[in-house]
Amino acid sequence: MSETLENLSSETRQFPPPAELAANANVTAEAYEQAGADRLAFWATQAERLVWAKKWDQVLDWSNPPFAKWFVGGELNIAYNCVDRHVEAGNGDKVAIHWEGEPGDSRTVTYSELLTSVSQAANTLTDLGVVAGDRVMIYLPMIPEAAVAMLACARIGATHSVVFGGFSVDALATRIQDAAAKVVITADGGYRRGKPSALKPTVDEAVARTESIEHVLVVRRTGQDVAWTEKDKWWHETVEQAGTTHDAQPFDAEHPLFILYTSGTTGKPKGILHTTGGYLTQTSYTHHAVFDLKPETDVYWCTADIGWVTGHSYIVYGPLSNGATQVMYEGTPDTPDRGRFWQIVDKYKVSILYTAPTLIRTMMKWGDDIPAKYDLSSLRVLGSVGEPINPEAWMWYREHVGRERTPIVDTWWQTETGAIMISPLPGVTATKPGSAMTALPGISSDVVDDQAQSVPDGGGGFLVLREPWPSMLRTIWGDDKRFLETYWSRFGAGSGSSSTEWIYFAGDGAKKDEDGALWLLGRVDDVMLVSGHNISTTEVESALVSHPSVAEAAVVGATDPTTGQAIVAFTIPRGNVETEGEAGEALIQELRNHVSKTLGPIAKPRQIMLVAELPKTRSGKIMRRLLRDVAEKRSLGDVTTLQDSTVMDLISSGMNTAK
Ligand code: ATP
Ligand code: MG
């Protein structure tokens, strides 16, 4: 980006928090004042929400930036904080997990039962020779054992690395190798789209291709046939037979908790390392603050997979540290039909729902009549994460899911940040559709220009973090150099207000509106330069989605002889829209004009393609770099994290026949 991003769209709708929620909110506006007055004291107060075996001597050691140490000298056990202490407090019979299998089977796991299972798994891992500091791979479907496995690792100080259960042999093998893992925890398979989908064969091949794995623990989920090697052990013959008590030892606040590879939206995934005390402090606090969780009455549901950071921070560590009752769902949103999510909300009386824009836009495409059939009156807070949420998708979520009653929290964060960084607070913030609003208390975000100078309200540029935060990544596993280069070199040390200021650059563009609210504008690598104007993909996509015929859109800049780059849009129409022949041609012209009218003629797409699907990562994010390859008629870059490779063939063939 040579200059700052231009600010094309404007949004005037605003929704204050519901009065009752505001009056009873866990966190009020005072939190911003406290954190503003003394950031480190604020985080120390939040750390006190946890049980520490030994208190820290220093909140933050930033003497060797950008390598941070939080809660130096402190010791705690994460599993104790997520499980044991709730049982000790008399909440052992409380439901921790309402698990819903895709075929319709279900299980209820109380905090006492969770404690037993985690203790058994910890004993089994110890029997298998796993000691603190060893790495354990987890490659499981969305079953309670996934949470149990993670907590068991944390309990004995083993560093887990969860790999999404849909990833290929290649993806699993490279991660096993990179982490030099000793054990893999997997299952025979899981249910997806109405049928069992095998996991074990992928593990067998990945283990054969790598050197480090000594044991494979296998959960029986589907009952399908599996090949067996001498490294394999059934979970039900080991864990479920193991001793049911386990004494949790405390670990240093900076003990490595997990390595998680990023989604791979922009290229080869990076092994992000998170540690113990700061990570749990911030995931626990943000879950309490952003979702206003009342552990006695709320039923919380995060629809993410455990293989993504959202599953780590907001299915396992945040909610369980807060003693939440939550729903965990194994399968896809359209099995057996497109009402499945709403049926689950209704069945368990879910009160807090946390999902992704990709799902909201898919539901928009499927039609308003589907959620309308269900009782969604239990919902009181809705969350969004993963991509910028287009204002129209936000409005749809508010209207058709929240029934105009519930606040929406659009939460910006990354695998690297470990926990939510920018988000409204549901009892405090008057939200604007499509805006993540402001940094949370204790977080120092900013939008800056090329020279690391803050842009004024109304301006756009690079989203950065100016101060370290408790759940920040500590490094890229085994590659400090890449860590420095990837996140800390854009503005360099000393490029801020003093020589000790280190600025973390997240890779995303953002703008501040006239009120100072933050709008995420997508990756800066995706920003388009059209006739000398820097235009964000997000704004053009949101303009397209604001047309009633459009459910989803992805926009890229393709080389153009006259304008430098020209805007090419790939657009998914809503379910009931006619797209064949002349109707399709007319719609395309209408959409080009609609964008021009909404954002100005500079943003008018040169070309619009109507498509049925978009290329997405396994975590549901649009992979614009592949669409850019198509638009510029190049061969495709790395497709290993792509959800469905046939999508690209369809889009490419459509592109070749388009005028
Ligand atoms: P990779 O780094 O390998 O390309 P990734 O960035 O998609 O993958 P994640 O850490 O899962 O991996 O995603 C973080 C990114 O997701 C953010 O940098 C941002 O681009 C996007 N994102 C997440 N939440 C939001 C949000 N609420 N609004 C806008 N963008 C968001
Ligand atoms: Mg990223």
Which CA distances in Å does 224 have to 221, 424, 464, 613? Answer: 8, 45, 48, 31
- The gap between the terminal CA atoms of the chain, to the nearest Å, is 31
Tell me how far the alpha carbon of residue 412 is from its chain's centroid.
9
Q: Which of 147-161, 267-281, 567-581 has the highest mean pLDDT?
A: 147-161
Of 16-25, 143-152, 372-381, 530-539, give the lowest mean pLDDT range: 530-539
Our count of domains for the chain comes to 1
Ligand at minimal distance from the CA of 473 is 1
Looking at the predicted structure, is the pLDDT value of residue 140 above 70?
yes
In the prediction, which pLDDT does 645 show?
Answer: 73
Please tell me the number of Cα atoms within 13 Å of 573 on its side-chain side: 18
User: How is the chain split among helix, strand and coil, in percent rounded to 5?
Assistant: 35, 25, 45
434 close to ligand 1 (CB < 6 Angstrom): no
Residue 310 annotated as binding site: yes
Ligand 1, from 167, 265, 486, 625: best to mutate by most atoms within 8 Å of Cβ? 265
Q: Looking at the domain assignment, is residue 650 inside a domain?
A: yes
**What is the average pLDDT across 395-409?**
98
In the prediction, which pLDDT does 1 show?
Answer: 43
Q: Looking at the domain assignment, is residue 236 inside a domain?
A: no
Confidence of residue 3 (pLDDT cuts 50, 70, 90): low
- Considering only CA atoms, which residue is closest to atom 13 of ligand 1? 414
- Considering only CA atoms, which residue is closest to atom 30 of ligand 1? 387
Contact between 195 and 337 (Cβ < 8 Å): no
The SS3 call for residue 416 is coil
Looking at the predicted structure, is the pLDDT value of residue 4 above 80?
no
345 close to ligand 1 (CB < 6 Angstrom): no
Q: Looking at the domain assignment, is residue 183 inside a domain?
A: no
Percent of the chain with pLDDT over 70: 97
Ligand 1, from 354, 361, 387: best to mutate by most atoms within 8 Å of Cβ? 387
CA of 262 to the centre of ligand 1 (A): 9
Give the span between the Cα atoms of 590 and 608, in whole angstroms. Answer: 10
Q: Looking at the domain assignment, is residue 91 inside a domain?
A: no
Looking at the predicted structure, is the pLDDT value of residue 498 above 60?
no
Looking at the predicted structure, is the pLDDT value of residue 638 above 80?
no
Confidence of residue 2 (pLDDT cuts 50, 70, 90): very low
In the prediction, which pLDDT does 266 show?
Answer: 77
Give residues with Cβ within 8 angstroms of 307, minimum separation 6. 162, 163, 164, 165, 166, 167, 618, 619
Confidence of residue 628 (pLDDT cuts 50, 70, 90): very high
Residue 235 annotated as binding site: no
Return the structure tokens found at 407: 């606040």
Element (H, E) at 35: helix 30-37
**What is the average pLDDT across 611-640?**
88
Ligand 1, from 174, 308, 411, 412: best to mutate by most atoms within 8 Å of Cβ? 412
Contact between 462 and 490 (Cβ < 8 Å): yes
Q: Looking at the domain assignment, is residue 631 inside a domain?
A: yes
- Considering only CA atoms, which residue is closest to atom 15 of ligand 1? 414
Nearest ligand 1 atom, CA 621? 7
Cα Rg, the chain, nearest whole Å: 24
CA of 650 to the centre of ligand 2 (A): 27
Average pLDDT, the chain: 94
Give the span between the Cα atoms of 591 and 567, in whole angstroms. Answer: 13
Question: What is the CA angle 429-430-432, rounded to 5?
Answer: 115
Please tell me the number of Cα atoms within 13 Å of 609 on its side-chain side: 24
Per the omega criterion (within 30 degrees of 0), is the bond before 103 cis?
no
For the chain, what is the largest distance between any 2 Cα atoms, rounded to a whole number of angstroms? 72
- Considering only CA atoms, which residue is closest to atom 17 of ligand 1? 414
Q: Looking at the domain assignment, is residue 594 inside a domain?
A: yes
Residue 508 annotated as binding site: yes
Residue 406 annotated as binding site: no
**Beta strands, E only, 155-314:** 159-162, 183-187, 189-192, 195-198, 215-219, 232-234, 251-252, 256-261, 271-275, 299-302
Give the span between the Cα atoms of 623 and 641, in whole angstroms. Answer: 9
Name the residue with tokens 């988000």. 423
541 close to ligand 1 (CB < 6 Angstrom): no
Give the span between the Cα atoms of 302 and 412, in whole angstroms. Answer: 15
412 close to ligand 1 (CB < 6 Angstrom): yes
Per the omega criterion (within 30 degrees of 0), is the bond before 336 cis?
yes
- Residue 585 has phi, psi (to 5 degrees) of -60, -45
CA of 409 to the centre of ligand 1 (A): 16
263 close to ligand 1 (CB < 6 Angstrom): yes
Residue 192 annotated as binding site: yes
Residue in 4, 8, 1 with CA at minimum distance from that of residue 538: 8
Looking at the predicted structure, is the pLDDT value of residue 659 above 50?
no
3 vs 100 pLDDT, higher one = 100
Element (H, E) at 10: none
Give residues with Cβ within 8 angstroms of 455, minimum separation 6. 4, 447, 448, 449, 461, 511, 512
CA of 414 to the centre of ligand 2 (A): 6
Per the omega criterion (within 30 degrees of 0), is the bond before 66 cis?
yes
CA of 387 to the centre of ligand 1 (A): 6
Q: What's 605's domain CATH number?
A: 3.30.300.30
Residue 223 annotated as binding site: no
**Beta strands, E only, 423-502:** 445-448, 460-465, 475-476
506 close to ligand 1 (CB < 6 Angstrom): yes
Q: For 273-429, where are the alpha helices, taking DSSP H only? A: 277-290, 309-311, 318-321, 340-348, 357-366, 369-372, 391-396
411 close to ligand 1 (CB < 6 Angstrom): yes
642 vs 239 pLDDT, higher one = 239
383 close to ligand 1 (CB < 6 Angstrom): no
Expressed as residue numbers, the domain containing 539 is: 531-656
11 vs 85 pLDDT, higher one = 85
**Which string of DSSP letters, residue by residue, matches 119-139?**
HHHHHHHHHTT--TT-EEEEE
Return the structure tokens found at 377: 């009156």
Residue 468 annotated as binding site: no
Give the span between the Cα atoms of 416 and 68, in whole angstroms. Answer: 13
Looking at the predicted structure, is the pLDDT value of residue 328 above 90?
yes
Residue 411 annotated as binding site: yes
358-384, pLDDT tens digit by residue? 999 999 999 999 999 999 999 999 999
Give the span between the Cα atoms of 603 and 360, in whole angstroms. Answer: 25
Ligand at minimal distance from the CA of 309 is 1
605 close to ligand 1 (CB < 6 Angstrom): no
The SS3 call for residue 489 is coil
CB atoms within 10 A of CB 62: 16
Ligand at minimal distance from the CA of 389 is 1
Q: What is the ipTM of this complex?
A: 0.99
Return the structure tokens found at 288: 């309490």
Q: Looking at the domain assignment, is residue 449 inside a domain?
A: no
Give the span between the Cα atoms of 484 and 490, in whole angstroms. Answer: 10
Q: Looking at the domain assignment, is residue 609 inside a domain?
A: yes
Tell me how far the alpha carbon of residue 640 is from its chain's centroid.
19
CA of 347 to the centre of ligand 1 (A): 31
CB atoms within 10 A of CB 222: 20
Confidence of residue 272 (pLDDT cuts 50, 70, 90): very high
Give the span between the Cα atoms of 329 and 305, in whole angstroms. Answer: 9
